[in-house]
Amino acid sequence: MQAMKETTVWENSAQTNHVYLLESDKMLAYIRKGTHEEFWFKSPIRIDKRGRKFELVEPNPFTGLGGRVQNIREVVGSKGQKYIVNLDDNTCTCAGYTFRGACKHTKELETV
């Protein structure tokens, strides 16, 4: 997981850039510009990076909202795809979880 500050120059001056916690093309959380408050998504959402610019933020400003960062795992699916499982919410970014609300990835990590 990487904390990335958006540096995109927008045509619309009302658009603001924030700091995002990213895992590949998934956004797990963000910190609104000018604040230190973390907003965590219930399930990671896909972010389209085309036409946007980011820079790495070191050290990572995300504290994990009560240890939440430690409760997120990346798993590899049967065909090599990478998914993010949130152990706190028992959610996954795979298509099976999206359609059925359950998947083998969350069940496998429950037993670990």
Average pLDDT for 7-29: 87
**SS3 breakdown of the chain: % helix, strand, coil, rounded to 5?**
15, 35, 50
Domain residues for 30? 2-110
Tokens of 63: 């504290």
pLDDT-derived band at 66 (thresholds 50, 70, 90) equals very low
Average pLDDT for 57-68: 70
56/8 Cα distance (integer angstroms): 13
CA distances from 10 to 7, 16, 37 (A): 9, 8, 23
61-92 exposure pattern, b = at least 16 Cβ within 10 A, e = fewer:
ebeeeeebbeebbebeeeeeeebbbbeeeebb
Domain count, the chain: 1
Q: Is the pLDDT of residue 21 over 50?
A: yes
Which secondary-structure segment (H or E) carries 56?
strand 54-56
pLDDT the model gives residue 112: 56
Tokens of 41: 């998504």
4/19 Cα distance (integer angstroms): 6
| Predicted model pTM | 0.59
Q: Percentage of the chain with pLDDT > 70? A: 91
